[in-house]
Structure 1
Amino acid sequence: MTRFWLSLLTLTLLAVGAPGARAQEADTTAMDWSAVPEYRIVPGDVLELNFGPRPEAPGQDAIRRQRVRPDGRISVFPIGDVVAAGRTPAELQATLLALLAADLRQPRVTVEVAEVAGNQVHVLGRVKKPDSYAVGPFFTLAQAIARAGGFEDDAARNSVLVFRRDGARTVRVARVALDRSLKKGSLAADLPLSRFDIVYVPRSTIGNVDVFVRQFFGETQPLLSSALVGWQLFNLDRVYVTTPITP
């Protein structure tokens, strides 16, 4: 069923375009690891919250494990529900400390991701096998294209779009001249992908990215919410912002 929706989404969005050369698997050992985006929590992750030593059990810490619910929240006593999804562990830790300070004199908590919910990227458009793919960490754009069977002959290989969620109501967008960069032997355009990123290969060069993105999500948002893992509860219809994704 997922493959059906992805194929339908691809057919809905195709424009007219030009051919280029196939992307090759990238050597991830050559990446600048400092450029890899900091991990952000998503629904399904299991978090370990350490509240420090337990008064009734010397030498033991008060540790709680919480799975992030589909609505992106966890329940923390005595605060109640707190939004975890979209935040880095450090950001969530700072938020919890600030909230706990209202009830405790010296609040203490550390946040670690004990289990990740899984890692998928969605590759759509003019590739041979558009689909959602389970991938490991530090997966790159060129690897995603290769996993999807490579470019179709009519793909706009220097106008590849990467969509990334940035919270519940914001999408960040990058337009990448991938083929041109790889032909020069440069990995500068081979973006490290984040979990649930959408890679879209159009048939023609996208002139106005802002207009295209509004059409992309405006026309297909219900389809995205139901078909693509990681894009559920995405409210682009309420607030829309585009900012570049930098390598």
Structure 2
Amino acid sequence: MSKYVNFLLLTTIVMLFGSSAMAAQSTIDVPVSKELMAKAREKVMSQAKTNAKGANEYVVGPGDILSVQVYGEGDMSTEEPAVAKKDLMEDSPRSSVGGVTVRMDGKISLKHVGDVDAVGFTLTQLADYLKIIFATVYDDPVVTVVLAQSNSQRYTVMGKVAKPGIFFLDYPINLVQVIARCGGFDQWANSEITVVRKDAGTEPFKNNTLQFDYDDFLKGKELEKNILIKAGDIVIVH
């Protein structure tokens, strides 16, 4: 009888510890419904209206490459490292990076949940949104979204510079630095520059344009006009 009791105890212990060691969360693909995506977006955006912290945060756009991680589960990308790209006037290509590319339809493809929205969210909002989406697969997932490469935000330089073109806005850059990035003025340029910005609305812009005189800048005048460039700006060198 004692041997039988010992056998039962041993079997129970093996079942308890063995089952916990073998436990795993489901990784079956669960296509996300349009209804769930709409509800998740509405919830995240409604929270954003009451939180001013994300006002100046980067907004995801088509072409951006994102790293999406679920804690304990790893990378959720379904893609190979992105093909290197380059500025239209840059000699060296941009580095290839791993991650998931935001498509022109505004979506990204992720493991287990398929195609989900991405465009229009800040990185924080997108992480909150994906937490709701991945909750259909994992218990209380911790989602991290990192901008691996910015490809959606660009500015244009036209006119009398050595290398006009369209450039990626990878880092903060002011107007004078933009001219330097383009190789400086060409031999026909004068010192006047116009910056056109959609919906500028505030000083030093007037009617969505800013007039900048490089000669005055060198004399220490109107230094506030050496503005930081924003995505979509058009710089015209006269």
Pick 1 or 2: higher relative contact order, CA cutoff 8 A, min separation 6: 1
Tell me which structure has the larger Cα radius of gyration. 2
TM superposition score normalised by structure 2: 0.47
TM superposition score normalised by structure 1: 0.46
